[in-house]
Amino acid sequence: MVKKIARMDSANRAMCFALRFPPKGMEKVSITKIIEEKMVLKSDGTVPSPGAISEAALSFTTKKETRGRKTGHRKTSKVENKIILKSFHKLRPPGYYVDSRKVHTSLPKKVRKNISRRTVRRRLAEKGYVPTRKMKKSDPGPRLAKKRFGFSQKHKDKTPADWKAELQAVGDIKEFTWSFGHAPKADAAPALLDIYEKVRATQAGLCTTFKVV
C-alpha cells in the first residue's frame, strides 16, 4: 500500500499567506512563531516545515495552470480504436491468450509511437476485453480441449486393470558421472549414502560411471 503524504489544505495555505503577508497596519508573524504556536497544520495534524510554510505563503496567489487533457479529449481517435481492436482479434483467436505487449507491438508505427500499453488495455476494456489470469498454466485451446474430452468420454468405463493390459512402461537409459570429490549431503536419502560408501570402498579410481534404466 502506498503511503499518503500529509500536506496543508487550502485553508492552512491561506493562513500562511495571511500571517506572512498581512494587510497594511498588521504585524508580520515570523515562521518560528507560526511553528511554535502551531498556527498552521498538515492533514495529519503535524506542523509543516519552515520551507513548506514559506513556499505556501509565496505561491498562494500564483495562478495555477490547468493540468491534464481538455474535457472530452481522447488519446486515440475512433479510427485508431478500430485498429487496436482489429490487431487484438488477429493475434487472439477465441480461447487463446495474448497480452498488451504483443498487441502494442503489432500496431502500425504511427499509432504505436503515440500510445502506451496502458492505453491499449483501456481501449480493449471499453469493448469488454478485461485482462484476467488463466485458470491453469497449461490451459488448452478449444481444439485440444475437445479432443481430450472426447478421449475421456470414450474410455470413461475402463478400470485400472483394463489400462494395465493396454499400457506399457518406457525406460530411459542415462549415463552420469559420480565424482568422489563431492560426497552427498548429510541429509540425503539413506539409500544414496549407502551406495556412495560402497562405491568409495570398492573403487580406487577418481570417478566411476553408472547406467540407470
- The DSSP code sequence of 133-153 is --SSTT---HHHHHHHHHHHH
Q: What is the pLDDT along the chain (213 residues), one digit of tens a residue?
A: 556 788 899 999 999 999 999 988 889 999 999 999 999 999 999 999 999 999 999 998 888 777 777 777 788 999 999 999 999 999 887 767 788 899 999 999 999 999 999 999 999 999 998 887 766 666 667 788 889 889 989 988 888 888 887 776 666 655 555 554 555 556 666 666 676 666 666 554 444 444 444
**Helix, strand, or coil (residue 176):** strand
**Nearest 5°: CA angle at 13, between 4 and 18?**
165
Q: Take residue 201 and report the three cell numbers written for it.
A: 570402498
Q: Please give the model's pTM, rounded to 2 decimal places.
A: 0.38
Position 1 scores a pLDDT of 52
Q: What pLDDT is recorded for position 137?
A: 62
Bridge partners (DSSP) listed for residue 179: 207
Which ranges constitute the DSSP H helices of the chain? 10-20, 31-36, 50-59, 78-91, 100-106, 109-112, 117-126, 142-154, 160-166, 190-202
CA distances from 96 to 91, 125, 132, 184, 196 (A): 9, 17, 12, 46, 50
Position 206 scores a pLDDT of: 45
Using CB atoms within 10 Å of the CB of residue 202, give its burial: 0 to 12 exposed, 13 to 18 middle, 19+ buried: exposed
Q: How far is CA 146 from the centre of its chain?
A: 32
